[in-house]
Structure 1
Amino acid sequence: MLAMSDINCIKHLRNNKGLSISEIQRTMGNNWQTAKKYADEDQLPKQKSFKKKGMMYEEKWGEIVSDWLFEDLKLRKKLRRTKKQIFEELKEICIS
């Protein structure tokens, strides 16, 4: 699959410049079938979204850890939580 900038370029060449599929193929260096697919297609391809799986995301822990990591991004690298510290803090939360 092409990057969105390439797809937009192919659409621009076809719709605004009026180039043929063969000219677009030569200009972009793509296969003519790919150029035709994106030049004549009305809709842009949808971005794939991946659903996160696992215990961290099915239970409440994923949000907590995500928040901690987001907070830690603002700190210097040496002051950020390690994996072990995150684990220990999660254990404390489970106990209480």
Structure 2
Amino acid sequence: MLVPDDKELFDRIYLAYTERAFSTLEDLFLDEERPNYIEDTPQLLAYLSERFLLTSKRAINPFDTELMDADEVNEAMLCVKQDYFKQLEAED
């Protein structure tokens, strides 16, 4: 079971993935120069924010906690879910 902090992190990763500016999540996580000092979620978000800027053209970086707070992440996820269900209804 996910704890609330994990849910926000996974939601941010999902929002980044929906950008489609990179072919796989490997583009975000695999980096030969990745620092070995990442010990907590804020450090991971800072690292992913830098990687996202290198791979994406999206105006809002979901890993930048100053630009997108937890409430905005939840709102964005609701929009993604609503779009998904609209697509399912359109296919019927």
TM-score, normalised relative to structure 1: 0.25
TM-score, normalised relative to structure 2: 0.26
